[in-house]
Amino acid sequence: MAYLLIFVTLLHLITLAILFIATMEKSWWVWDGMEISDLWHNCRLDNDTASWLCATSKETDWLQSVQVLMVLSVVFSSVSFLVFLGQLFTLSKGGLFYFTGLCQVFAGLTAFAAALIYTLHNNEILQDSKDLTKGHFGYCFILAWVCVPLLLISGFMYIHLRKKE
């Protein structure tokens, strides 16, 4: 049982870190390695200074919904972890981690909705950017999709996890 508890805790921390990286990093859409776009900025590599020049992304309704859902996902997962730590010390023997599991499942569902919206509406989100046929999804977009099953699995594991003493 101790191994399951350690596994679930490590899985939660890993998914939380991946989710935070997917939300904050600058690679949701990539063109030729010289231009990238994320949820917050459009960036271009300046060859003279070898630094990224970034401008705020044009706010569209679809982009704002993806931003909100990804931030909500990070919040739900963070709250879930804090509640889990609290329940470890206050939950009675044999108690289930329902609230922790539900928060984690909600985090997975909000990350799923955000990634799905970005997948289906990237033309509208990146409407003023370069030709989208010359670009591809970046690693942060892939990390967001990787987080979805991990968050859902850990959420269901929390729901079935019982506290033993």
Q: Where are the domains of the chain?
A: 1-32+59-163
**Helix 61-90, helix 98-125: angle, nearest 10:** 170
- Could you report the per-residue pLDDT of 19-45, keeping only the tens digit for each? 999 999 878 888 877 888 888 888 888
Q: Strand pairing partners for 51?
A: 46
- Could you report the per-residue pLDDT of 130-143, keeping only the tens digit for each? 677 788 888 999 99
- Residue 12 banded pLDDT, cuts 50, 70, 90: very high
CB distance 67 to 40 below 8 Å: yes
pTM for this model (two decimals): 0.88
CATH number of the domain at 1-32+59-163, out of 3.30.465.10, 1.10.150.130, 1.20.140.150, 3.40.50.2300? 1.20.140.150
- Could you report the per-residue pLDDT of 150-164, keeping only the tens digit for each? 999 999 988 887 766
* Alpha-helical regions (H) of 91-138: 98-125
By residue count, the chain amounts to 165
